[in-house]
Chains A and B, each alone.
Chain A
Amino acid sequence: MDLATSMLVAASGMRAQSSRMRTIAENIANANSTAPTAQSDPYRRKIPTMTSSFDRELNATVVEAGRPVQDSSDFRSQYDPGNPVADAKGYVKLPNVNSLVEIMDMREAQQSYEANVNVLDASKTMLVRTIDLLNK
């Protein structure tokens, strides 16, 4: 049934956005994590990915959250000679996370999630209104 299917498709979108939100949360939480030693690298930013896939059971195209990929851009470095993990010149490597970018990503995830919630709500209302025809 189409309306029931659209509810499940919207649910897949909600699930994908939740997974995206988790990756963003990891990035924001680790924005200032340093490496455990001076030689190793600090946290590397993760980019959430999503792919569309055809669900044979539903006979509809749903969205699936893929594995987050790593952002290969350069790490930030900060002059902090007192830090135990600073290199010989006194610089500390910090994660390549830009808080502003993450905040914008978070807003987008939130909006997409809400759009999917609205689709689910509208489909349910349509179904309930149809069933209500019998109650007159």
Chain B
Amino acid sequence: MTVVPSAAAAAYQAIAKIGAESAASGAATGAASGAAAGPASDFSQFLSQSMNNAVQTMKTGEKMAAGGAAGQTDVVSVVNAVNAAELSLDTVVAVRDKVIAAYQNIMQMPI
């Protein structure tokens, strides 16, 4: 895989911007409960927030699966919850991999 350093920098910047936006909207709705972070921690904040969301979805999926095993929830709901958990985790992992690759590319740039 050949990576153009400028593309890597652009990707990193774009994600940092998404992070800043989501953090801002989270703060506006009062959902963000973490400490007010500066622009330096935008990406880590974004990552931890989306990770929290993914974990929450997975917890719901697990609860549903347990209910399904006990015969309390119907199969359709179980499949849906597990599907949603899988998809959100996939998304977070894919974004993380992409950004870390971009970051590493920047760090390896010969100066």
Q: Which residues of A contact B (CB under 8 A)?
A: 4, 7-8, 11, 14-15, 18, 124, 127-128, 131-132, 134-135
Which residues of the partner chain B approach A8 to less than 8 Å between Cβ atoms?
80
B25, CB-defined interface residue at 8 Å:
no
A4-B84, A135-B97 known; A128 and B76 CB under 8 Å?
no
Q: Is the interface of A mostly helix, strand, loop or mixed?
A: helix
Check if B66 is an interface residue, CB within 8 A of chain A. Answer: no
Measured between beta carbons, the chain B residues less than 8 angstroms from A135 are: 94, 97
Interfacial residues, chain B to chain A (CB-CB below 8 A): 74, 76-77, 79-80, 83-84, 87, 90-91, 94-95, 97-98
Are B98's CB and A11's CB within 8 A?
Answer: no
- Establish whether residues A7 and B83, one from each chain, have CB atoms under 8 Å apart when the complex forms: yes
Give Cα A134 to B80, complex, Å.
Answer: 24
Distance of A128 Cα from B91 Cα, bound (Å): 9
B74 contact from A4, A15, A131, Cβ within 8 A: A15
User: Is the CB–CB distance between B97 and A11 below 8 Å?
Assistant: no
Chain A residues near B80 (CB-CB < 8 A) = 7-8, 11
Distance (whole angstroms) from the CB of B67 to the closest CB of chain A:
15
- Give the residue name and chain of the A residue nearest to B87 (CB): A127
Contact A128 B94 (CB under 8 A): no
Tell me, rounded to whole Å, the shortest Cβ–Cβ distance linking B61 to chain A: 14
Q: CB-CB < 8 A to B90: which residues of A? A: 128, 131
Known interface pairs A8-B80, A18-B74; A134-B94 also in contact (CB < 8 Å): yes
